[in-house]
């Protein structure tokens, strides 16, 4: 998608929704979720967060994330069933209501991000016992599991070990074994399919729960918000020179905030210039197109009006 189209959509980004007829509303950092009975309506807005703060919106971000999640839900449904019932709008998923597990299931294939920072500081919150002498962004022999708690709104998630997940009663030992097996299987499939498209799926976060007693994948999957993607063709050369990989994910925003605004979650929230918003949206669109092999079709216009039209039957109850 060209930058002119992305820029033209800036005045129409979806920052919030208000559809009380859909059910009780829960507003997360990115998604507005409406619950009624056993049904959820998840609206992926254009909100962009980093370091636990919502900072701005990106044009077409909600459409891109929701449609990419649908791509991955379909591609992994043979491994673990998911909560999707319908997609009545590019940024909306109607889903089965699950009993969610209070654990974020993070799988990592490379030593990067917060895990690298912990490693540098001599911390091992996950009980991985990584050997000394590893380098930033290096690949593990096999993916590792680094869970975290799902903190209440306004609080920070806490990294914990797999053993602590059971000790704290967040999952039974049997449930932990089941979700880790499922998470690794989905991740391996994601790695395989991403590699076929010239990308490396570096790490990701899954959420799971129970629907009628059956393990179910919920929330999102393998999006640039929940995952890291690196360009494959330049990776080895860049790492050999000590350079950062070419990234197609939200890490671009985090790095910009740190280097250009000296912001890592504390102090006044920085303003995000329109040029940065457009460039980030372009990265998300490029990730979508690389992963799916399809062009992203986004129409400039009022997303709220489109939602009201496409959700009319749900709004009538």
d(CA 91, CA 85): 14
Q: Are 15 and 47 in contact (CB under 8 A)?
A: yes
For the stretch 190-241, pLDDT in tens is 999 999 999 999 999 999 999 999 999 999 999 999 999 999 999 999 999 9
Task: Give me the mean pLDDT over the 122-145 stretch.
Answer: 98
For the stretch 134-180, pLDDT in tens is 999 999 999 999 999 987 766 778 999 999 999 999 999 999 999 99
Q: Which of 9, 5, 39, 7 is nearest to 22 (CA)?
A: 39
Number of other CB atoms surrounding residue 177 within 10 Å:
13
Q: Residue 81: phi, psi to the nearest 5?
A: -65, 155
SS3 188: helix
Q: Using 50, 70 and 90 to split pLDDT, how confident is the model at 317?
A: confident
Q: Are 43 and 34 in contact (CB under 8 A)?
A: yes
β partners of residue 208: 217
Task: Give me the mean pLDDT over the 242-263 stretch.
Answer: 97
CA distances from 269 to 31, 56, 59, 264, 266 (A): 20, 10, 20, 10, 8
Q: Using 50, 70 and 90 to split pLDDT, how confident is the model at 273?
A: very high
d(CA 149, CA 104): 6
Q: How many CA atoms lie within 13 A of 149 on its CB side?
A: 16
Query: Is residue 15 pLDDT above 80, yes or no?
Result: yes
Sorted by where each starts, the structural domains of the chain and their CATH numbers stand as 3-97+269-315 (3.30.200.20), 100-240 (3.30.470.20)
SS3 222: coil
Q: Are 248 and 286 in contact (CB under 8 A)?
A: yes
Task: Give me the mean pLDDT over the 289-308 stretch.
Answer: 97
Q: Using 50, 70 and 90 to split pLDDT, how confident is the model at 285?
A: very high
Look at strands 92-96 and 99-100 and give their pairing: unpaired
Q: Using the 8-state DSSP alphabet, how is residue 33 labeled?
A: E
CA distances from 159 to 65, 111, 167 (A): 25, 15, 14
Query: Is residue 105 pLDDT above 70, yes or no?
Result: yes
For the chain, helix, strand, coil in percent to 5 are 35, 25, 40
Task: Give me the mean pLDDT over the 67-85 stretch.
Answer: 99
- What is the structure's pLDDT at 212? 96
* Average pLDDT value for the chain: 97
- What is the structure's pLDDT at 154? 66
């Amino acid at each position: 998608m060209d930058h002119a189209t992305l820029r033209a959509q800036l005045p129409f980004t979806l920052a919030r929704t208000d559809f009380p007829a859909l059910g009780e509303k829960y507003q997360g950092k990115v998604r507005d979720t409406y619950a009624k009975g056993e049904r959820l309506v998840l609206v992926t807005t254009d909100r962009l967060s980093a370091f636990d703060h919502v900072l701005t919106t990106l044009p077409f971000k909600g459409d891109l994330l929701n449609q990419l999640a649908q791509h991955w839900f379909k591609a992994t449904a043979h491994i673990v069933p998911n909560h999707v019932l319908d997609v009545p709008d590019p940024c909306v998923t109607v889903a089965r209501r699950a009993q969610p597990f209070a654990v974020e299931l993070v799988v990592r294939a490379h030593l990067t991000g917060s895990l690298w920072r912990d490693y540098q500081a001599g911390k091992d919150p996950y009980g991985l016992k990584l050997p000394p002498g590893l380098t930033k962004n290096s690949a593990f022999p096999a993916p590792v599991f680094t869970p975290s708690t799902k903190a209440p709104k306004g609080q920070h998630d806490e990294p914990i070990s797999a053993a602590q997940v059971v000790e704290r009663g967040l999952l039974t030992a049997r449930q932990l074994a089941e979700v880790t097996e499922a998470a690794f299987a989905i991740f391996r499939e994601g790695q395989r399919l991403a590699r076929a498209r010239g990308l490396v799926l570096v790490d990701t976060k899954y959420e799971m729960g129970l629907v009628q007693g059956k393990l179910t994948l919920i929330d999102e999957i393998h999006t640039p918000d929940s995952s890291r993607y690196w360009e494959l063709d330049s990776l080895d050369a860049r790492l050999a020179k000590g350079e950062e990989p070419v990234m197609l994910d939200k890490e671009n925003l985090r790095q910009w905030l740190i280097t250009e605004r000296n912001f890592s979650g504390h102090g006044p929230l920085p303003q995000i210039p329109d040029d940065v918003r457009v460039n980030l949206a372009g990265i998300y669109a490029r990730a979508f197109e690389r992963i799916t092999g399809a062009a992203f079709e986004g129409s400039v216009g009022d997303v709220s009006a489109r939602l009201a039209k496409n959700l009319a039957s749900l709004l009538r109850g």
